[in-house]
Structures are given as C-alpha cells and as structure tokens.
Structure 1
Amino acid sequence: MPDVPPRLEPFTARTEPAALDDLRARLRATRWPDAPEEAGWSLGTDVTYLRELVAYWADGFDWPAQEAALAQLPRFRVRLGGLGIHYVHARAVAPTGPVLPLVLTHGWPDSFWRYSKVVPLLTDPGAHGADPADAFDVVVPDVPGYGYSDRPAGPPLDSVAVAGLWAELMGVLGYPRFGAAGGDIGSHVSRYLALDHPDRVVAVHRMDAGLPVFTGDPADLTPEELAWFDDVAAWGASEGAYGAMHRTKPQTAAVGLTDSPAGLAAWIVEKLRAWSDCDGDLERSFTKDEILTNVTISWLTGTIGSSMRMYHANAAIPPHQLARRVEVPSGFSLFRGDVVRPPRAWLERSANVVRLTEPARGGHFAPFEEPELYAEELRAFFRPYRTAATG
C-alpha cells in the first residue's frame, strides 16, 4: 500500500471565554512578593513594572483582537514524527524572479510570534518599498513544545531532531531546496539543517552562533576569541541562572510558571528586557500588547514547561556534534543589542562565512524589534542563492 502523504490542515486558534475568565481571575488574585526599595530590575523582574503590566493584562488587554490579528497569517497544522506541528506558510506575492523558500525558526521564550511582523515584508517586498524580485515563500513552524505545536509526551526533542522535522516539513510542502534562518535556539536548528541536509539547504543565515564550545588547544584561539570566551563566562555568571535551571531542573520551575500567569510574565518579561535593544526601557522595543501577546500564547497553550525542557535535551547533544563545521554558505547578522556577539575568527572557525554584518539597531528579538532591518538582512544575504533553489 503506498504511503499516504501527511495531511495539511488550515488552523485557526480560538480561545474559549472560560479560559480568559480563569486567566483574569488568577491575575487579580496574584500574591505579590515584597521587594527592596529602589531595587528596580537589579534583582530580576521589577515588581512595580510587573504589577502595572498584570493590571493591564487583567483589565485592559484585548486578547481576542490579538488572536484575530495573528489569524491573518496563513496558518496550518500537520502531523510529523508523531507530533502535530503548527506552522505559518505564506507564499510570495507578485514575484518578478525566482522565489526562494525560507524556513525561519524561533527560539525561547516565544513562538512563531517572533516572525509575525516580518512575514509580509519577506513575501511581498514590493509592497514595502523593496525589490519584488526578493520575494520568499516563508515557512515559520512552532518548535514542538512551543506555541501551537504539540508538546512531546516523551523525551523532549533537541535541535538536531527538530532540524530533521523541518527538512521533512519542507519536503511535504514541495520544497526540495530552500534557505534556513533563525536566532537563539532557531540558530541551532538552522545550523543542524545545514549540517545534516547540505544537499537541500542552499544557504543558512543566523543571528548568533550559540555559546562557545571548544575542545582544542586554547593556544590556537585568537586574542579576540579568548576575550570573547571571558565575556561569555561573565555573562553566564550574571545572567545565566535561567539557563542552568532549564538545563537541569525545568520541571521545578514549570510548576509555578504553569500555575501563575504573573509568575510566567515575570520569567519572560525579564528576558525580553535584558535581551532586546531597549537600553533598559522595555517598552522602547515592545508595547504592552506585544509583550502580552507573546506571554498569553505561552499561558493558553501551557507550553512553558515543555519549552524549557528543550534546553535539557540540547545539553545532552554530544560534543562531536557541537564541533562540526557548517560548509553551506553562511551569513551572520550580529545585532547591536544581542547577548553574545562572537568575533569573526570564531564564526569562521565554525562556519563557511560569506557575509557578516553588524546592524546598528536591534537585539535578540530583531525580527520583532526591527522587522524592516531584519528583512533587508535576509534579502541581501539570500539574493545570490535564489536560482540555486529553483535551478
């Protein structure tokens, strides 16, 4: 009997009123911690700001309007590897040349939300002041355990496994060759797509190279690389507690974060502020509605625990996998406000770097913070590889 291809089903999220009533009741019943005077953000989330945000979440935030706005994106679900995968699939509008399929992978703590602003800029560049010849077919999946994709019931998937799912997804969608891009965990997934499917990935763009893993002789590292290693270690000591928790005891944190929407917001909002290019003023990068749309997706889907467990899975990836060099043409956009910005020497050690830029604005969430700038970075990088995907 011939194999039956996976079924692609249109998807629209619809939240029951009872779920929103429960959310608002929990927000209004929040039991607040004390905080030292003038602590601000120095000890973690600023409780004063969080109280303001939670009050708006309970009595001002219009989730149905945000849900309807996200429903304007062409969204689907498909079953792959025993899991239901949610994804955006937006085709190029009025292209004037070869159309490059592009899979974009998000990271933590978010979902397809990260790319919601940039999708129309990539599919219809002509309508946004750019060259129509730079149009993409864009695919934005939710990683399993994030957003509207299924939560794995067994062991969490690592970035290698997710890359394999994305290769299958792009094949199901009719794309034998394509480009890949991402940031944060999405950079890892895109890297493994290029490593494990070099015959299909024409080029790969990343916003970071992850935290450094080096098993060779330190004497072989350049002074810039050694200084960067020191910077990363200092960052980990002051900012890395969340990652240690995710890698080692994610279920402990998941209990409180799944039960308390205020706690969930505190966990996520502190990272949105610390990792964005906002100079300490979170709402320079995100409006309250944008912040709460991201947090509400995590709350309603109950995915904070499953998303954190991916860190635990990635921590077990063997060192030989981490040390592999990407030979597929690679581009990096190191945005000013991102958290780890490696020197070129390190990038060239780990990848076939054909383009490296350092945009003057934007942080870890650049596709959402600076969508026009991010879209132009992708257009410029992938322009030479368009015919490779169609020829």
Structure 2
Amino acid sequence: MPSDVQAVHGVHDVQAFEARATDADLDDLRARLAAARLPEAETVRPTASGAHRWDQGVPLADLVDVVDYWRTAYDWRAFEARLDRIGQFRTTVDGLGIHFLHRRSPRGDATPLVMTHGWPGSVAEFVDVIDELADPQDADAPAFHVVAPSLPGFGHSDKPTTPGWGIEKIAAAWVELMGRLGYGTFLAHGGDWGGPITTVLAGRFPEHVIGLHTTTAQAPPGLSTDGLTAAELAWVEETRDFWNGPAAAYAKQQATRPQTIGYALVDSPVGLLAWILDKFAAWTDTEDSPFETISLDRFLDNVTLHWLARTGASSARIYYESHLALDPDLRGDVPAAVSVYPYDIEKSPRSWAQARYRHIVRWRVAESGGHFPSLEVPEYFVDDLRDGLAAVLAARR
C-alpha cells in the first residue's frame, strides 16, 4: 500500500505515517470475493444449534453472510480515517520498520502505556478504547499516553526477512521504541502474544517497566494443583484440553508450517476470513456467533488489514518463532495486575501466576468476556485496565 511519510520534528527516527489502499486493491478484493469457490455445507446435524453449529468450523451460511457484507457494504476508508485520527507513525528498530499508533494524552499527569496485541488480532483491537484511555471523560480517572505497536509481520510493520523476531526481541524493540518517544519508563499491557511479550518486558527490563497488566498471565510450567479451588482446577483442565485438543491445530500448523498455510491466507480473502473467523467464534463469550458482542465492521477492519498488508504468512510466523519459547525461569518483581475473562482460552490460577509475577497488586475475574475483551466488552475493559494500572501506580509510590 502506498504511504505518505514525513519526518516528525524533534523525534529521532520516528516518521508520521499514513496508508491508503489503492482503489485497484479494493476492487481486486471485491472481485475475489465475488468469484470465490466455496465448499458444500458442513455435515453437522440439522438440529445443531449454538456452538455446535461450528463443530466442523465456520458454517457455510455464516460465511456467505459475512462475505456478502464485506463485498457490498463494508467501508475500509472509514477505518483508514480512524487510524489517522488516533495518530500513526513508523520507526526502524534493529533493521525492521515498526508501525505504531500513538495517542498522547492532554493530561499533564498521564503515564506512558504500551499495549501489545496478538494473533489473529492487530491494532484494530484497540481503536475503540485508546481515546478513553488517553483522555477519560472522568477527570478523576488515570490517563495514559497510549502507544500500540503492530507486531513484526503484522499490519503496517515490516515483515522480517530473517529468523529471530520472537518475543524476546520484540520486547527489546518496544523498549527502544518507547525510549525514542521520550518514555524512559512506562506501563505495559498485553493479551494473547501480548501477554508473553509484556511478561518479558517486565522480567527483562524492570528499570524501564513501571508495572504491567495482562489478560493472559503466563504461569511457569510444572506447578502442582495441590490447594487449587474447584474453579481453578476447572481453569487448568480447560486450558490443558484446549492446547492438547483439536482446537489448537491452528497453532501447531503455524508453529511448524507457517509458510504453507500462508499461501492460502495471502491468496484467498475467503480463506483468510474463515481462518480468522473460526477463532473469533471459538474464543468469545457468545452462544451462536461472535457478532453477538463484536462489531462486524471492527472484525472486518482487522481481517482487511491482514488482507491488504498480505500478512497471512508473516503474522503466522510468530508461532514458529515463539511457540513455547517463554523462558520457564523468567520472573518479574514489578507490580502486576491480572484480569481473567471467563471464556478466554488460557486461564491461570492466581497462585500459579504469582510464581511468575511475584508482586501481584490486583487480581480480577470478570463476569463475562473472552479472548478479545477490548472488542467484546470495551467499556468494562477500559475500566478494568484503568483500575489495574492505578493499583500498579499506587504500589510504586
């Protein structure tokens, strides 16, 4: 996608960034959607309802509806404008161009905050919460200078051409990025891959990281279940069943053969849509469709960003680089806030999380929500994140 890049005065090696998909790119997308070759319908029982409709993957009828909306009604230009209003930038770290959103708060007491997304997400996960975090309507609520980078190989960040861009290197790159923006110390939030990256930030760079908030706490391996409550034992079993069962097939594919699946994801928008929609359906707190809680437009913002940037292979490659790569001995002593959403795919008991994050100052179990809380329950997510980070800041005083 062509870009209009200009230097930002006074900030070393950081450039303002705008991206515009060409009309030809968008026409090509719609033409591919119109010409898609679809399989026959799934062979689930006619009486199947709710989640059971998805037992073989994305139901044909649901896919057809989303494809039709994507082709005829979805407005990509509105999302481009939304990113511009937040503020987009790029910088080069260790030879790789990194794209990020940066919304400075007008408040003099604001604290820098880096927010890290995961897969199959993107910075689209945060566009509906950044403004309220930076400039809250409640004058008594904490405010943040929000930085939301696109992971290497995602969105408008460059695609690595050599191996090595795993969670450790990404965390080090975030420290460099924040320093270039004048943020020598900062808070960190992350879920999905953002969880391990935030964990590395806190464990490796405590002189820079004031504290953290995560929705994907990373317990060390091999801990005993002795003393866990019935609810915590259920969490352990659900997490183990997820990673040992068919639902984790996507991760094994991307951790071992990201290039192979990448051909399909980069060549077919319907293939990419189905691959991502399957995860949104399975990982959200919904009965029949992820669009019970998540905006179809925001979902398509995320998918279209993946499509136009051709990141099907490069975004999958983070699994090849980092699957099971978190140092089992890594520990952190900075203040930590942990939130658990009941329908997330990984849920850690507090005592297990405490073994990794040794200074947990706030622990919250939400009543609803799944793997994408900033999209599913954005108002609750903002309040919860603010409360968690407020506890972290209070612990540092």
For 2:129, the aligned partner's letter is V
Aligned-partner Cα distance in 2 for 1:90–1:154 = 31
Q: Which residue of 1 aligns with 2:128?
A: 117
Aligned-partner Cα distance in 2 for 1:315–1:12 = 32
Q: Which residue of 2 aligns with 1:15?
A: 21
Aligned-partner Cα distance in 1 for 2:170–2:224 = 35
- Tell me which of 151, 157, 160 is aligned to 2:159: 151
Which stretches of structure 1, 4 residues or longer, exceed 6 Å deviation after superposition? none
Q: CA distance change for structure 1 residues 379 and 223 in 2, over 3 Å: closer, same or farther?
A: closer
- 1:27 and 1:58 in contact (8 A); partners too: yes
Q: Which residue of 2 aligns with 1:374?
A: 381
Quick one: percent identity of the two aligned structures?
37
Structure 1 residues 289-338: Cα deviation after superposition (integer angstroms, max 9, x where no partner): 12211100000001121111111111362x7x133222111110111221
Aligned-partner Cα distance in 1 for 2:284–2:103 = 27
Over the residues paired in the alignment, what is the CA RMSD in angstroms? 2.1
Number of aligned residue pairs: give it: 377
- 1:121 and 1:375 in contact (8 A); partners too: yes
For 1:347, the aligned partner's letter is A
Displacement, 1:54? 0.7
Structure 2 unaligned spans of 5+:
1-9, 46-52
Structure 1 residues 262-286: Cα deviation after superposition (integer angstroms, max 9, x where no partner): 0000000111111122223221122
The correspondence of residues 229-308 of structure 1 with structure 2, limited to 5 A, is 229-236=236-243, 237-308=245-316
Structure 1 unaligned spans of 5+:
none
Whether 1:363 and 2:370 are equivalent positions in the alignment is yes
Aligned-partner Cα distance in 2 for 1:333–1:151 = 31
Displacement, 1:71? 2.0
Secondary structure (helix, strand or coil) at the match of 2:371 reads: coil
Scaled by the length of structure 1, the TM-score of the pair is 0.91
- 2:134 and 2:145 in contact (8 A); partners too: yes
- 2:57 and 2:278 in contact (8 A); partners too: yes
Q: Which residue of 2 aligns with 1:76?
A: 89
Secondary structure (helix, strand or coil) at the match of 1:174 reads: coil
Q: Which residue of 1 aligns with 2:3?
A: none
- 2:86 and 2:101 in contact (8 A); partners too: yes
Secondary structure (helix, strand or coil) at the match of 2:85 reads: coil
Q: CA distance change for structure 1 residues 221 and 243 in 2, over 3 Å: closer, same or farther?
A: farther
- Tell me which of 200, 203, 211 is aligned to 1:203: 211
For 2:132, the aligned partner's letter is L
Displacement, 1:252? 1.2
- 2:220 and 2:355 in contact (8 A); partners too: no
Displacement, 1:361? 2.4
- Tell me which of 317, 320, 336 is aligned to 1:309: 317
Q: CA distance change for structure 1 residues 85 and 154 in 2, over 3 Å: closer, same or farther?
A: same
Structure 1 residues 186-243: Cα deviation after superposition (integer angstroms, max 9, x where no partner): 0111110001101111111100124x5524xx65754456654433221220311111
- Tell me which of 74, 77, 90 is aligned to 1:61: 74
Aligned-partner Cα distance in 2 for 1:230–1:380 = 29
- Tell me which of 82, 89, 102 is aligned to 2:102: 89
Aligned-partner Cα distance in 1 for 2:352–2:334 = 16
Mean Cα deviation higher: 12-21 or 229-238: 229-238
- Tell me which of 350, 357, 361 is aligned to 2:356: 350
Q: CA distance change for structure 1 residues 386 and 220 in 2, over 3 Å: closer, same or farther?
A: closer
Aligned-partner Cα distance in 2 for 1:173–1:387 = 24
Aligned-partner Cα distance in 2 for 1:38–1:214 = 37
Aligned-partner Cα distance in 1 for 2:183–2:132 = 21
For 1:367, the aligned partner's letter is S
Displacement, 1:132? 4.5
Q: Which residue of 1 aligns with 2:179?
A: 171
Secondary structure (helix, strand or coil) at the match of 1:157 reads: coil
Aligned-partner Cα distance in 2 for 1:158–1:365 = 22
Displacement, 1:102? 0.4
- 1:57 and 1:292 in contact (8 A); partners too: yes
Q: Which residue of 1 aligns with 2:6?
A: none
Secondary structure (helix, strand or coil) at the match of 2:19 reads: coil
Aligned-partner Cα distance in 1 for 2:12–2:331 = 33
Q: Which residue of 2 aligns with 1:107?
A: 118
Whether 1:341 and 2:352 are equivalent positions in the alignment is no
Q: CA distance change for structure 1 residues 374 and 22 in 2, over 3 Å: closer, same or farther?
A: same
For 1:102, the aligned partner's letter is L
For 2:91, the aligned partner's letter is V
Displacement, 1:7? 1.6
Secondary structure (helix, strand or coil) at the match of 1:110 reads: coil
Aligned-partner Cα distance in 2 for 1:55–1:220 = 48
Q: CA distance change for structure 1 residues 208 and 30 in 2, over 3 Å: closer, same or farther?
A: same
Q: CA distance change for structure 1 residues 156 and 26 in 2, over 3 Å: closer, same or farther?
A: farther
- Tell me which of 198, 202, 207 is aligned to 1:194: 202
Secondary structure (helix, strand or coil) at the match of 1:240 reads: helix
For 1:74, the aligned partner's letter is G
For 1:20, the aligned partner's letter is L
Aligned-partner Cα distance in 2 for 1:378–1:232 = 23
Displacement, 1:251? 1.1
For 2:29, the aligned partner's letter is L
